[in-house]
Amino acid sequence: MTINGRPVIAADHFDVKNPATGDTVGRAPNSSKDHLDRAVEAAHAAFANWSKTSDAVRIQACQDIADKIGKHAEELAQLLTREQGKPLNGLGSRFEIGGAQAWAAHTASLSLPVKVLQDNEQGRVELHRKPMGVVGSITPWNWPVMIAVWHILPAVRSGNTVVIKPSPYTPLSTLRLVELMNQVLPPGVVNSVCSDDKTCNIGAAMSSHPGIRKIVFTGSINTGKAVMASAAETVKRLTLELGGNDAGIVLPDVDPKAIAEGLFWGAFINNGQTCAAMKRLYVHESVYDEVCVALTDYAKAIPVGHGSDEASVLGPINNRMQFDKVKRLVDAAKQKGRVLLGGEPGEGLFFPPTLIADLSHHDTLVTEEQFGPALPIIKYRDVEDAIRQANDSPNGLGGSVWSRDVEKAKQVASRMECGSVWINKHGAIQPNAPFGGVKSSGCGVEFGEEGLAEYTDIQVVFS
């Protein structure tokens, strides 16, 4: 752990496994409640000075963090692949570390200047954005370094301090990231704790901790609900980016071969282990068969293997719990639909890209978020039915529409109940565009000025 700028060793540790081999990658510290209290105290003490620093100092800090990530990019990517399983190449670990560096650099460019609401003979009214205090960050195992940057950098940029707790499946790269940040930040500005969530549930302790002013959480809907309930006692501010069961709607005017690559990566980026990946695909009956063939032809050429193999493009599922869920949903779908590709698990935690056609909107692979390398394909006749089915979900993170006619696609997109909609692509988030869900997919947004504002309190000054 890193607390108040110094390495802290725990009395107990737990093993971190390589999903591709089952081998132990390393051992992570099992924090106690006392470690959390010390981290919060350090962050609180650091806030007194960090909150008063100038914009220039905070901008430089974000730039320095970006530079530090860049200088240690290969080290972080190698560590990330070993604990998460994703390949080094393609849209894997090197892509994630590069994205983390770029996001950190972009965050440096954001600002929240004083907004003048009124300036006339009746007086002047200004809206100021002030840092909150200690921010608690709880991150998942699918994009651990990238999401840590998404949580930490806007907090640092806006004058807050941080205590971060990574997933027990992928703690090592995040702990190393925080070590690197502490080489360029004052002590206590960013602190890390860690636990296996069994011996001591540090995440639950954070969401109820009276010294933490805001929780930023990325993860499942059920855990998000628990965080929200636990945070209520201390009236914490929350940013929750929760599950998505994103729908893609393919209109009848598409060129199936032209969209096959985009459909595949919209669904299978990070082996489908992405909140904003496409989880269900609705295709018009007039192009249904052609889309199925084109998508299958593209998918069957994707190499799957150990992440450390430079030739691999997709790797294993990260953990046994998620593997079992994907297998359960695929096994049920095989009884209802037509397997176009995959469907049978490989060795260990490997599961091939799986496409299952001829499913109905009510089959479990469609209604439940699989969060893995399996895509259900549903035929529709009337676009009104496709829109209705796409919206018939408690989730509302992202969606996409595929068409040669962009204006027609935008009309359909405007009726989809989700926080982000893409035309002829899926899941292409950007640091300058706010990102968040509606319905059960969360509250608040990340990225851009709107995301930065979520780390501040409003103070209105009348003069």
443 belongs to the catalytic site: no
Residue 273 and residue 349 in one domain: yes
Among candidate residues 241, 369, 446, 454, the one labeled active-site is 241
Amino acid at 87: P
Which amino acid is it at 248? G
Q: Is residue 161 part of a domain?
A: yes
Kindly state whether residues 46 and 109 are assigned to the same domain.
Answer: yes
Q: Do 263 and 204 share a structural domain?
A: no
Within-domain flag for 283: yes
Taking the C-alpha atoms of 373, 374, 379 and 382 in order, what is their torsion angle to the nearest 10 degrees? -60
User: Does 304 share its domain with 355?
Assistant: yes
Phi and psi torsions of 408, nearest 5°: -65, -40
Is 431 a domain residue? Answer: no
d(CA 30, CA 214): 23
Regarding whether 292 and 224 lie in a shared domain, the answer is no
Tell me what pLDDT residue 456 has.
Answer: 98
Range of the domain at 390: 246-423
Q: What is the CATH number of the domain that holds 334?
A: 3.40.309.10
116 and 182 within one domain: yes
pTM: 0.97
Are 204 and 326 found together in one domain?
no
In contact, 200 and 122? CB cutoff 8 Å: no
Cα 325–Cα 328–Cα 333 angle in degrees, nearest 5: 125
> Rounded to an integer, what distance in angstroms lies between the CA atom of residue 386 and that of residue 407?
18
The two beta strands, 6-7 and 246-250, are unpaired
Q: Let me know whether 224 and 251 are in one domain.
A: no
> How does DSSP assign 175-201, residue by residue?
HHHHHHHTTTS-TTSEEE----SSS--
Q: 3-state DSSP call for residue 339?
A: strand
- 275 as an active site residue: the answer is yes
339's CB contacts (< 8 A; 6+ apart) are 354, 355, 356
Q: How far apart are CA 455 and CA 236, in angstroms?
A: 12
Q: Which parts of the chain sit beneath pLDDT 50?
A: none
Q: How far apart are CA 173 and CA 236, in angstroms?
A: 28
Q: Is position 428 within any domain?
A: no
Q: Which of 62, 200, 275, 292 is catalytic?
A: 275
- Name 444's Cβ contacts closer than 8 Å, sequence gap at least 6: 238, 239, 240, 241, 436, 454
- The answer to whether residue 433 is domain-embedded is no
- Looking up residue 68, the CATH number of its domain turns out to be 3.40.605.10
Inside any domain, residue 296: yes
Amino acid residing at 138: I
Nearest to 2 by CA among 144, 170, 131, 166: 166
Residue 118 lies in a domain: yes
Query: Do 221 and 275 fall within a single domain?
Result: no
- Give the number of C-alpha atoms closer than 13 A to the C-alpha of residue 429, restricted to the C-beta side: 26
> What is the count of structural domains for the chain?
2
- Summarised one tens digit per residue, pLDDT across range 194-207 is 999 988 899 999 99
Residue 218 lies in a domain: yes
| 29 and 164 part of one domain | yes
Is 351 strand, coil or helix? coil
Co-location of 419 and 444 in the same domain = no
For residue 132, the one-letter residue type is M
CB 66 within 8 A of CB 104: yes
Q: What's the pLDDT score for residue 214?
A: 98
CA distance 383 to 353: 27
246 with 263: CB under 8 angstroms? no
CA 69, CA 180: separation in Å to the nearest integer?
8
Whether the Cβ atoms of residue 399 and residue 248 lie closer than 8 Å to each other? yes
Bridge partners for 341 per DSSP = 355
Measured between alpha carbons, how far is 443 from 458 in angstroms, rounded to an integer? 18
So what's the pLDDT on residue 199?
Answer: 84
pLDDT in tens, 301-360: 999 999 999 999 999 999 999 999 999 999 999 999 999 999 999 999 999 999 999 999
What confidence score (pLDDT) does residue 303 get? Answer: 96
Tokens of 180: 């690197």
End-to-end CA distance of the chain: 46
Are 69 and 180 within one domain?
yes
Residue 129: strand pairing partners: 458
Rounded Cα distance between 208 and 201, Å, is 11
Residue whose pair of structure tokens reads 């650091």 in the numeric block: 46
